[in-house]
Amino acid sequence: MTKAEKELYGKIARLGCSLCRYLKLGETECEIHHIRRFGGKRSNAEVIGLCPEHHRGNSGVHGLGRKGFEARYGIDEQTLLLHTHQLLGII
Ligand SMILES: [Zn+2]
Ligand SMILES: [Zn+2]
């Protein structure tokens, strides 16, 4: 991991869970979740913050799967990534 990536991950981690923010549940401690582009390989920059439940829990992205997650919350990983980048002023 490069220094720039480490800094980016730190900033994303400090924003808290991107889904909790979207659901207006406030700022919660988060873990870094890597988003895999469809058919593509893992890119180091494509990460969002998700709290333990929304990450690895039964109601989380890994528990529900990408489609289940989208159906349940009405938002997908790419949109959460967009929100994260907007908050950071990357785009
Ligand atoms: Zn959450
Ligand atoms: Zn993950």
| pLDDT of the residue at 44 | 57
Q: Which ligand is nearest to the CA of 61?
A: 2
State in Å: Cα 89 to ligand 2 middle: 23
Strand partners, 20: none
As a whole number of angstroms, the distance between CA 28 and CA 6 comes to 20
State in Å: Cα 40 to ligand 1 middle: 26
Q: Is residue 42 within 8 Å of 34, Cβ to Cβ?
A: yes
Tell me which H or E stretch contains 33.
Answer: strand 31-34
Query: What pLDDT band is residue 39 in, cutting at 50, 70 and 90?
Result: low
| pLDDT of the residue at 38 | 60
State in Å: Cα 34 to ligand 2 middle: 5
Those residues with Cβ within 8 angstroms of residue 67's Cβ, 6 or more apart along the chain or in another chain: none
State in Å: Cα 6 to ligand 1 middle: 22
Amino acid at 40: G
Cβ atoms within 10 Å of 37's Cβ, excluding its own? 11
Query: What pLDDT band is residue 37 in, cutting at 50, 70 and 90?
Result: low
